[in-house]
Amino acid sequence: MRSIGCIFVFNGQSEANLNAKGYSAKDERRILDVLGRGLLKEFPNPSRTGCPGADILKRIASHDMPLSEAEKWLDHLGSCSPCYSDFSQFQATYQRRRTRTILAIAASILIVASLAGWASFLRQKEPLVTQTAVLDLRNRSIPRGTEQNPAEPPLEVSRAARHWDIYLPLGSSEGSYDVRIVTRSGETVAAISGVAKLTDQVTHLRVEVNVSSTQAGTYVLQVRKTGAEWSSYPLHVE
């Protein structure tokens, strides 16, 4: 008897999930009321006259039988103590199984959520390590010396970018290049060297740059073939 209270509190909470065959919480209560009354009256029925059999009790207990079909057994269940006893055992088994299933589903959801969280954490970290910036100088006018062309919009680069892929102006030759990032007042923030390679008619210069601790703002990017004159381009570091 005591276990019934627990079972149906559980049903009440999970009404939407547990009533696939049309058992509303109200139906459950009605069945319980009938059963409860039956039990209180105590019908021993030792010869099991008119009993539906374990299979039917099991199907009602596990909500496997549509309520319309179960209806005709309710009177009997309400007046047969052995059936009630069997029924409550089946019901307890069913609820335990459901609880296990729900817990298993909850555990899978938790695992999936953790994996998703971890993946998104990795995605957030990744750009800091591998983000590549492309600085395209191919269509820029070629300024000489440290003078920049004020009409050109600044190149944009993120402070998170560690790999700078510089496309040198068309016609640039392969070989060793120097790259400098200087403030507008001429102070050097970073100085790197690299080797430019010609691929598909584009002279690429790949350099590793760390400006993560540099303040965001406008700088000057200076590039030269080692030993030659600097070319300057406005650079916006974000």
Question: CB of 114 within 8 A of CB of 198?
Answer: no
In this structure, what token pair is assigned to residue 159?
A: 């402070």
- The reply to whether 56 sits near Zn ion by the rule CB under 5 A is no
d(C-alpha 77, C-alpha 73), whole Å: 6
CB of 11 to Zn ion, least distance (A): 23
Residue 3-22 contact track with Zn ion, rule CB under 5 A, x = bound: --------------------
CB of 73 to Zn ion, least distance (A): 9
Q: Which is nearer to Zn ion, 72 or 144 (CB)?
A: 72
CB of 12 to Zn ion, least distance (A): 27
Of the candidate residues 51, 74, 102, 189, the single one contacting Zn ion (CB under 5 A): 51
Q: Which is nearer to Zn ion, 15 or 75 (CB)?
A: 75
Angstrom CA distances, 226 to 63, 103, 164, 178, 229, stand at 82, 67, 18, 6, 8
Q: Which is nearer to Zn ion, 47 or 124 (CB)?
A: 47
CB of 62 to Zn ion, least distance (A): 18
Contacting Zn ion within 65-84 (CB under 5 A): 80, 83
Q: Which is nearer to Zn ion, 73 or 230 (CB)?
A: 73
Q: Which is nearer to Zn ion, 60 or 155 (CB)?
A: 60
Q: Which is nearer to Zn ion, 80 or 166 (CB)?
A: 80
CB of 92 to Zn ion, least distance (A): 18
Q: Which is nearer to Zn ion, 63 or 76 (CB)?
A: 76
Nearest of 119, 111, 43, 116 to residue 75 by alpha carbon: 43
Which range binds Zn ion by CB under 5 A, 46-54, 64-72, 197-205, 221-229?
46-54
Give the binding-site size for Zn ion (rule: CB under 5 A).
3
Contacting Zn ion within 79-108 (CB under 5 A): 80, 83
CB of 44 to Zn ion, least distance (A): 10
Q: Which residues bind Zn ion (CB under 5 A)?
A: 51, 80, 83
